[in-house]
Amino acid sequence: MRYSYGGDEHIFVEVDESMSLEAFFKALFITNAVRDKAIDGVTEICPANASFQIKFDPDRIAPEDMLAELKKLEAAAESAPSVIETRIIEMPVYYNDPWTHETLMRFRDRHQDPNATDLEYAARINGKASAQEFIDAHSGAPWFVSMVGFVAGLPFLYQMVDRPRQLEVPKYLRPRTDTPKLTVGYGGCFTAVYSVRGAGGYQMFGITPMPIYDPKSEHDYISDDTMCLFRPGDIVKFRAIDRATYDTTVAEVEAGRFTPKMAPVTFSLDEFNADIDAYNRKLEGVLNGK
């Protein structure tokens, strides 16, 4: 792990140069331990994909003492079991929807392939025969929420398959000035769900009717404390839906009747690595009450 100071109030820690579930688990263990230890002077804990940042008050804890605390936790993380108590959440996605399609067509001059849609381009560079085959791969296995941020409530998700099967799609050559709210996008090896409308550079594959950011406390399934649905360590299973199901779900959301399918789950990284596909089926069984 590499440590560096960010001014007088931050320590940035790079766990690994590349994203992996092993790096994520190590970062999550240490940031959870910082929280649970309630170190005097720590004011903010920011876990990320394969790194994390700690903000602290240097008048309450000296920078070298904060660094020493983190290095102690690094040593403990080396022998810690790779097991977390988390939850699996189903997210309906209307792939190839008209709203993201209209938006992506307005910005073709900023794209690697102006003559193809984002889904068609993503399918081709990942060796898929069609956009539908790419959608099947994207929705076929669960995803880990490795960090939440950039804008309020936006999750970054890492695909839970072996590395040869992981999808990879570059961001736009130049960012867009518009992205519809709740767009399911893709950049590098990460899926992201745009919690609000705004600029963005990720490829656009579809849209979800499920709110994930709730500053007005309108949805019972989103915590009033954080206003955000997702937290690092959550597992997400995308479910492809059609236009009729999308419209029905939007109506349920607007009427205050919608609650996503979710279930608590104990996740073991060792068991996952031993048989990835079997373990993913087990997770989906938990989600479906089996």
Structure tokens at 110: 């900023």
E strand or H helix at 88:
strand 83-95
Residue tagged 């959608």 (tokens)? 135
Tokens of 25: 């688990």
Tell me, what amino acid is at 247? Answer: D
- More confident site: 48 or 195: 195
Tell me the CA end-to-end span of the chain in Å, nearest whole number. 40
Distance of CA 263 to the CA centre of its chain: 18
Which domains does the chain carry?
2-80 (3.30.1360.40), 85-287 (2.40.100.10)
Q: Are 202 and 187 in contact (CB under 8 A)?
A: yes
Separation of alpha carbons 111 and 119, rounded Å: 12
Digit-coded pLDDT (tens) for 144-202: 999 998 889 999 999 999 999 999 999 999 999 999 999 999 999 999 999 999 999 99
User: pLDDT tens digits for 60-71?
Assistant: 999 999 999 999
3 state DSSP class of 247: helix
Long-range interactions of 211-215: CB distance < 8 A, separation 24+: 211/182, 211/253, 212/153, 212/155, 212/182, 213/152, 213/153, 213/154, 215/152
∠ CA 225-210-286 to the nearest 5 degrees? 85
Summarised one tens digit per residue, pLDDT across range 95-152 is 999 999 999 999 999 999 999 999 999 999 999 999 999 999 999 999 999 999 888 9
Write down the pTM of the prediction: 0.92
Contact between 238 and 143 (Cβ < 8 Å): yes
Separation between Cα atoms, residue 241 and residue 287, nearest integer Å: 17
Separation of CA 164 from chain center: 20
